[in-house]
Chains A and B, each alone.
Chain A
Amino acid sequence: AQSVAQPEDQVNVAEGNPLTVKCTYSVSGNPYLFWYVQYPNRGLQFLLKYITGDNLVKGSYGFEAEFNKSQTSFHLKKPSALVSDSALYFCAVREPFSGGYNKLIFGAGTRLAVHP
């Protein structure tokens, strides 16, 4: 079955330190991968995506993610965390063969807490 796993419910980081939020996927074919961020009382905001090309993709707010096909991973990273990065982060993969419907499968989410 197609799925996305975010193995950590919560990640704690000190401000200024690098952060990593992990995501692994299980889909057939070539994956289309996405990261979203959700701030309190807000909808999901798109951060970045991998469709094809360079394995390192850059997105909004200084975030980047690395696609690793052999490890079926798409970890979200940032070199220097800010307290304002504290939020809920979701990894998602496009459902293969969903054709024009463009359905996404979401992970359970990882709460990032950046401490001053």
Chain B
Amino acid sequence: DADVTQTPRNRITKTGKRIMLECSQTKGHDRMYWYRQDPGLGLRLIYYSFDVKDINKGEISDGYSVSRQAQAKFSLSLESAIPNQTALYFCATSDPGQGLFEQYFGPGTRLTVT
């Protein structure tokens, strides 16, 4: 969905490096989410945010942190990358206040930690 963008699209980094993945949206949604996708495991929630003042841990937040710089921007950081953080990462948004309970996803960032 072109309304939710993620940068970079691909990244290779080394163990121990700090890396930031960025997400921007033009949908005007308040709720934003970060997921990781691993084969056979579906999508697992890392962090979610109601608005710029509200950040919450998801089921797999260890080793990750986030920053909600503005309504439209939600960044995910890996403080010290490790190989088992190699995965596909997705940002998503939603606006249930408008009756839109589905989430809208960015194109993903493929991260490889060597």
Measuring CB to CB, which residues of chain A are less than 8 angstroms from any residue of chain B?
Answer: 9, 32, 34, 36, 41-46, 49, 51, 90, 94, 100-104, 106-109
Shortest B87–chain A CB gap in Å is 14
Q: Is the CB of A45 within 8 A of B96?
A: no
Q: Is the CB of B43 within 8 A of A90?
A: yes
Q: Is the CB of B105 within 8 A of A102?
A: no
Shortest A111–chain B CB gap in Å is 10
The distance in angstroms between the C-alpha atoms of A43 and B1, with both chains bound, is: 7
Taking CB as reference atom, which chain A residue is nearest B103?
A104
Counted as pairs of residues, one from A and one from B, with CB atoms less than 8 Å apart, the total is 57
The distance in angstroms between the C-alpha atoms of A7 and B103, with both chains bound, is: 23
Residues of A within 8 A of B108 (CB): 41-43
> Would you list the 10 A-B pairs with minimal beta carbon distance, nearest first?
A43-B105, A106-B42, A102-B96, A44-B105, A106-B43, A108-B42, A43-B107, A46-B102, A102-B94, A43-B108
Shortest A79–chain B CB gap in Å is 23
What sequence of 0s and 1s flags, for each residue 27-44 of chain B, a beta carbon within 8 Å of any chain A beta carbon? 000010100000011111
Question: Is B74 interfacial (CB-CB < 8 Å)?
Answer: no
The distance in angstroms between the C-alpha atoms of A108 and B102, with both chains bound, is: 18
Taking CB as reference atom, which chain B residue is nearest A48?
B102
- How many residues on chain B are close to A (CB under 8 Å)? 26
A42, A94, A100 pick with most chain B CB within 10 angstroms: A100
Q: Is the CB of B103 within 8 A of A102?
A: yes
Partner of A103, one of B4, B41, B48, B106: B48
A41, A43, A101, A106 pick with most chain B CB within 10 angstroms: A43
Question: Is B56 interfacial (CB-CB < 8 Å)?
Answer: yes
Taking CB as reference atom, which chain B residue is nearest A104?
B103
Taking CB as reference atom, which chain A residue is nearest B33?
A103
Q: Is the CB of A46 within 8 A of B104?
A: yes
Q: Is the CB of A90 within 8 A of B96?
A: no
The distance in angstroms between the C-alpha atoms of A45 and B106, with both chains bound, is: 9
A43-B105, A90-B43, A102-B103 are known; give 5 further A-B pairs, CB within 8 A: A34-B101, A101-B31, A103-B45, A108-B41, A109-B40
